[in-house]
Structure 1
Amino acid sequence: MGKLYVIGIGPGGLEHMTVKALKAIEESEVIVGYSKYIEFIKPLVVDKELYSTGMKGEEKRCREALAISRDKIVSIISTGDSGIYGMAGLILEMRKDEEVEVIPGVTASSAAASVVGAPLMHDNCNISLSDLMTPYEDIKNRVELAAKGDFIISLYNPKSMGRPHYLSECMDIIGKHRRGNTPVAVVKNALREGQKKTLFTIDDFDDSIVDMFSIVIVGNSKSYIKDGKFITPRGYKLEK
């Protein structure tokens, strides 16, 4: 009898994977994933059977992983957390009677936040600006409501060649509900090779440095910068 692990491998560096994820990959006979993500864990899978596809092959990967897991122990991998823009939901939607276990990982917003300080210390949300699965009008509505609600907002998939203006438009929406000095962080390749971080405010934000490997974090009304660190207070009554 086989089994399917749905694993979030975190940002991409092996040191940021959970012990549970490492053990599941070690136990697995077959590893399924997007080819670039398999490269992130290459030292762990040298003796494994590999099944990979290119970008946008999610449904095919999930179908193959489920089929193989009837007879073998399989891991299907996502970067970040498998249940946040990862493979967990699709696997569970497609599952019939296969044994499936979801193993979480460090999601991109948490990884990026750790690089710039502690911006996510209060109520926060993740919003993807990719319209491949969600109509852009729905995305803008969610951004508007999150901004109105004073949520810290982490923007995933913020900018691509096919939709170069979505980020600036959504930042304009947020700007209607935030002060101009609200901190904004851009973190590229968080916790993996090529990491870069830049701090802005809403007033001086420059989206030209943003790409699909970036996460954009916009603070709430209480967020501020202290000694180069992006902080959102939780609300503790600190003595002066």
Structure 2
Amino acid sequence: MGNKQCSKGRIDIVGIGPGDVNLLSMQARQALEQAQVIIGYQGYMRLIAAILHPQRQMIVTKNLSEEIERAQLAMEYACQGQHVAVISSGDAGIYGMASVVFEWAARQHESPEIVVLPGISALQAAAARCGAPLSHDFAAISLSDLLTPWPLIEKRLQAAIRADFVLALYNPRSQRRQKQWERAEAIIRTHCSPRTPVGIVRNAFRDGESVVITDVAHLEADTVDMFTIVLVGNSQSFVWNSRMITPRGYYPPSDRGPRVLVLGGTREAKIMAERLGRRGARVTLSYRLPPPPGPYGEGVMVRWGAWDDVGLAQFLRDEGIAWIVDMTHPDAQIIQKVARWAAREQQVPYLRWERPRGLEQEALVRRVDSHQQAAAALRQYQGNVLLLTGIKSLAIYTEALADDPEITVMIRLLPRSETLLQAEQLGLGPHQMVAMVGPYSAALNGAIYDRYNIRAVVVKDSSDDLASKVEPALERGIAVIMVQSTSDGADEGLSFDAIECQIFETSGAVIC
């Protein structure tokens, strides 16, 4: 298949490690000394200049973005019968030149001898400076979307965190790529404990080296750039004597985690349960209706079914529950009252999660305290107005706006016979009902607004998908009436981090 002349040449793809010649393997050093042509990025070439021989070797330097040109030149010289060394920092097979050279050879159907000589990878060098963070399973992910679409990177990042891998993040942030790191940091903060150890290593084993051992709560963007490897621990990682350590499992855990009941019904409940499970808690995630498919993470058991006060109190007693974490929807007031009563009865601490405000005040967003106020606010608009608030409140709007011929009330609802019948009994015709089953993306909501020429939408600020409803409306200049959630003031809502801190601080594993 290949060019016969090519078979006389040879390409060594050499991983030079961090750049310190003392860390080169003997094979890599011999290959660099014996090669007739050496090709590589000029910055890396300077790192190994001490062992090169410009008098008898052809030294070819290229810029960072010219990887394909390097592979092409290497193949041309090899096909002339030359012994070529292509250098790559770290290990050539990890985000390095190995795949570039092999792919070029495969595309050109040329087959010189190609040998990969491994080097110390950037993640290995960074890990060595931090201690022992990679002692268990880990995932290496590059945050550069130059060659990989960002949605795919984000998907891999979320999957790795949910699977409790230690993370080794390459190319985290550059002057032109800021938002990628911001998004990655937000994902890490959402799914990891605030006290998860983080190692930030810049220029490992090179001049200007810096090593910072911190945690997720104190992760700062200014410490991260393209010369940095970020190591994020898993749920078992800890810091000792300024070193980051991930246990391999040789030593048994010193104690068992607390028993926690998480009352679900929101997407955030699953995230909270997974976070607590990764910290070692034994979690029961409870749903009223059959739950969505898993997985739910290590240490998380799932049950479903309604509670009454006596049944819940008995469950707390029989299962030895130490904490109740209420992650239910703000409108789920019955289960909230049941949970508070059972918690008092069994003297179990009750923690209520506070839904964060996801949107800043916008000129087109009007916040009201009730559906009655929302209905009154709709009177200033003409045409189609869309309710995204559910069937329970529909009667308030139809009654309040029945005498206004300039307004057509529409509602998005589930295509259930009883729901459709209820809307029909309240005076809505088929053209006023958008019967659909979610989930609803921002693009789909925007298409609905366009299709029905919507002038105003009514939403609840407690909606799980609030942003996907509001953002497409604001993009189109559509007014948003936002009904703010109310509470009975029985408890003060807490954030994810505050809940986790209370549970583990009280349980003896201080993380706050």
Task: State TM-score, norm by structure 2.
Answer: 0.46
Counterpart for residue 64 of structure 2: 55
* Cα distance between partner residues in 2 of 1:12 and 1:81: 11
State whether structure 2 residue 73 is matched by structure 1 residue 64.
Answer: yes
Counterpart for residue 6 of structure 1: 13
Contact 2:27 2:117 in 1 (8 A): yes
Contact 2:10 2:82 in 1 (8 A): yes
* Cα distance between partner residues in 2 of 1:204 and 1:49: 48
State whether structure 2 residue 95 is matched by structure 1 residue 85.
Answer: yes
State whether structure 2 residue 232 is matched by structure 1 residue 218.
Answer: yes
Query: Where do residues 124-143 of structure 1 align in structure 2 (5 Å cutoff)?
Result: 124-143=138-157
Deviations 1:128-162 (A, max 9, x none): 01111001111111110000000000110010011
Query: Where do residues 97-176 of structure 1 align in structure 2 (5 Å cutoff)?
Result: 97-176=111-190
Deviation at 1:17, TM superposition (A): 1.1
State whether structure 2 residue 28 is matched by structure 1 residue 21.
Answer: yes
Q: Which one has the bigger helix percentage? A: 2
Deviation at 1:5, TM superposition (A): 0.1
Counterpart for residue 40 of structure 2: 33
* Cα distance between partner residues in 2 of 1:162 and 1:190: 23
Deviation at 1:176, TM superposition (A): 2.3
Deviation at 1:200, TM superposition (A): 1.2
User: What letter matches 1:18 in structure 2?
Assistant: S
Counterpart for residue 43 of structure 1: 50
Counterpart for residue 194 of structure 2: 180
* Cα distance between partner residues in 2 of 1:99 and 1:14: 25
* Cα distance between partner residues in 2 of 1:168 and 1:201: 16
* Cα distance between partner residues in 2 of 1:105 and 1:125: 19
Deviation at 1:175, TM superposition (A): 2.4
Deviations 1:6-41 (A, max 9, x none): 011001111111111001111101100011111111
Q: Secondary structure at the match of 1:203?
A: helix
User: What letter matches 1:73 in structure 2?
Assistant: H
Q: Which protein is bigger by CA-based radius of gyration?
A: 2
User: What letter matches 2:46 in structure 1?
Assistant: E
Deviation at 1:207, TM superposition (A): 1.4
C-alpha RMSD over aligned residues: 1.3
Moved more, 163-172 or 133-142: 163-172
User: What letter matches 1:133 in structure 2?
Assistant: L
* Cα distance between partner residues in 2 of 1:58 and 1:239: 47
Deviation at 1:165, TM superposition (A): 2.4
Deviation at 1:113, TM superposition (A): 0.5
Size of the aligned set, in residue pairs, is 240
Contact 2:139 2:168 in 1 (8 A): yes
* Cα distance between partner residues in 1 of 2:251 and 2:162: 25
Contact 2:33 2:53 in 1 (8 A): no
Q: Secondary structure at the match of 1:236?
A: coil
User: What letter matches 1:44 in structure 2?
Assistant: I
Q: Secondary structure at the match of 1:82?
A: coil
Give the % identical residues: 38
Q: Secondary structure at the match of 1:194?
A: coil
* Cα distance between partner residues in 2 of 1:200 and 1:171: 14
The higher-RCO structure (CA 8 Å, 6+ apart) is 1
Contact 2:213 2:243 in 1 (8 A): no
Structure 1 unpaired stretches of 5+: none
State whether structure 2 residue 214 is matched by structure 1 residue 203.
Answer: no
Structure 2 unpaired stretches of 5+: 1-7, 255-512
Task: State TM-score, norm by structure 1.
Answer: 0.97
